[in-house]
Amino acid sequence: MRVGIVGTGFVGAAAAYAMTLRGSAAELVLTDVNADKARAEARDIQDATPFSHPLRVSAGDYASLDGCRVVVLTAGVNQKPGETRLQLLERNARIFEEVVPQVVQAAPEAVLLVATNPVDVLTTLVERIARLPEGRVIGSGTALDTARMRALIAEKVGVDPGHVHGYVLGEHGDSEVLAWRSVDIAGLEVARFCEMRGLSWGEVERAEIDTRVRRAAYEIIAGKGATYYGIGTALARITESIVRDQRAVLTVSSSLRPGGTRGEVAYSLPRLVGGAGILATLETPLDPREQQALAASEAVIAEAAAGLK
């Protein structure tokens, strides 16, 4: 399967490298307004293939995206220190209005995977511009936030993260919602697991994890200027679920809602992701406070999206 990546900045290059190490596709095609940068990244990543997976990495223009099963959209400007994801909107929306029609023309059968921030608003914009069949536009959403939450819980209680189940919902940003009601460890409520292990678990521990998940990107940006390894690997994981029709449940962004209805804006819920893109949106049990927080998160995205033409 061919996978295209539009934008070879930090995130695009990290995604391409992660896909190479993981063997996410048979061929990667890198496209960037800076053609020299795209060619250099492709050549550098190609040099990693003898040590990882035998895939082909090349650079080209939009026409070279023809035949791609997935096109990952990472084009845009980076988030500045102290800048929220929503403050990025005006700058990156203009870029997407130029890029998306060219991608759709070149690769009309591709699933579009949006990674540029603010990802939920831009996913909403791409849905409007691309006019693709239902489920063929996906935002990376809170896939990384969910992974962060699971890893922090696992670290706190001393268990493999693969046995921690739970989701971060809503905006990939300040209003995101950690859905504590549905979190479990090997089928046990976290409190029960901790009781069995003689560990402390309560509001203090939840609040600490909530803060660390919510502040992670800001702390990384303050220290090194940008985040890219985590999101790059998340993009590789989402891509694999599409090209291999794995039907993984991932917290990705879309305007699709449980039951097949469609909302006004995209945000993250657990969704079944396979060969055709999003196959279903799943219900997540929420307590009243979490329901209110999710509605507030949707409102934050809707307010930002209202300014889009």
Q: Mind listing the pLDDT tens digit for each residue in 149-161?
A: 999 999 999 999 9
Q: Is 261 annotated as a binding residue?
A: no
Provide the annotated active-site residues.
172
Q: How many CB atoms lie within 10 A of CB 21?
A: 16
Q: Mean pLDDT over residues 96-119, rounded?
A: 96
Q: Is 78 annotated as a binding residue?
A: no
pLDDT of 268 above 80: yes
Identify the pLDDT of residue 231: 98
pLDDT of 88 above 90: no
Euclidean distance between CA atoms 175 and 283, whole angstroms: 19
pLDDT of 61 above 80: yes
**What ranges make up the beta strands (E) of the chain?**
2-6, 27-31, 56-59, 70-73, 111-114, 137-139, 164-165, 168-169, 177-178, 184-185, 188-189, 248-256, 262-274, 277-281
Domains in the chain (CATH in brackets) are 2-139 (3.40.50.720)
Identify the pLDDT of residue 246: 98
The least confident of 73-82, 183-192, 227-236, 273-282 is 73-82
pLDDT of 93 above 70: yes
Q: Is 263 annotated as a binding residue?
A: no
Q: Is 118 annotated as a binding residue?
A: yes
Q: Mean pLDDT over residues 243-253, rounded?
A: 98
Euclidean distance between CA atoms 36 and 254, whole angstroms: 33
Q: Strands 177-178, 168-169: parallel, antiparallel or unpaired by DSSP? A: antiparallel
pLDDT confidence band for 82 (50 / 70 / 90):
confident
Euclidean distance between CA atoms 267 and 66, whole angstroms: 29
Kindly report the pTM of this predicted structure.
0.95
